[in-house]
Structure 1
Amino acid sequence: MEPVRTCVGCRARASRSALIRVAAQNGELVFDERAVLPGRGAWLHPTVECLQAALRRRAFARALRVPATYGFPQASDVRNVERHSPRNKG
C-alpha cells in the first residue's frame, strides 16, 4: 500500500505519487521533485488552485515550521506548477 499524504492547499488526502513535495532550502521554498531534500516537507496537488489556497492560508509556514518571510513562489512557478506533476514525468 502506498503512503498517503494531505495536500496543504485543499486539505484532501491523496497518495504520495499524486502530490509534489515542497521543502525549505536556503531561505526559500522549492519544489522537491524527487522528494529527497532534507528536513520537513509539505505536500501539494500539482494544481495552481491548491498552490494559491496554500499561499492564501499561509500553510507552508505552518507545515514546514519556517518564518512566513520565506520566498515562494515566483509568478512563473505558479503558472508552471502543473509541469512538476509526477504524472507528467516520463
Structure 2
Amino acid sequence: MSGRTHARACPERTCVGCRERAAKGEVLRTVMIEGACVPDPRGTLPGRGASVHPTLVCLDLAVRRRAFPRAFKVPGPLDTAELRRYLERTER
C-alpha cells in the first residue's frame, strides 16, 4: 500500500502577480479576449487562463512584470482596464 491518503488534493494555482501559490478558489481566473484580459470568476470561459489574487496590488505587480502576455503566450502589452474595474468593484 502506498503512503498516499484518499483525501482529494485541493488544486493550486500560482498568482502571476506575486508568484505565490494559492488554492484555486482563492485566485481569480483571467482569460484573454481580443487583446484584453477579462475576469472569469466562474471559470467557464474558453481558452488559456492566468490566475491572479483578486487584489489591485497583485494586478499592478502582474502588469509591471508583464506577466499577462507571458502567461497567455502572446506578444505585446494587454489591456487590463476591464479586469481593473472588476477588482475595484469587488475589493470593497
Q: Which bin holds the TM-score, normalised by the shorter protein? A: 0.7 to 0.9
Instruction: Name the count of aligned residue pairs.
Output: 84
Show structure 1 runs of 4+ deviating over 4 A.
none
Q: Cα offset for 1:36?
A: 1.2
Q: How does 1:72-87 map to 2 (within 5 A)?
A: 72-74=80-82, 77=85, 80=88, 83=90
Q: For the structure 1 residues 28 and 37, does the alpha-carbon distance in structure 2 shift closer, same or farther, using more than 3 Å as the test?
A: same
Structure 2 unaligned segments of length 5 or more: list them. Answer: 1-8
Q: TM-score, normalised by structure 1?
A: 0.80
Which residue is 1:59 aligned to? 67
Q: Which has the higher helix share?
A: 1
Q: TM-score, normalised by structure 2?
A: 0.79
Kept in 2: contact 1:48–1:78 (CA 8 A): no
Ranked by relative contact order (alpha carbons within 8 Å, sequence separation 6 or more), the top structure is 1
| Aligned CA-pair RMSD | 2.4
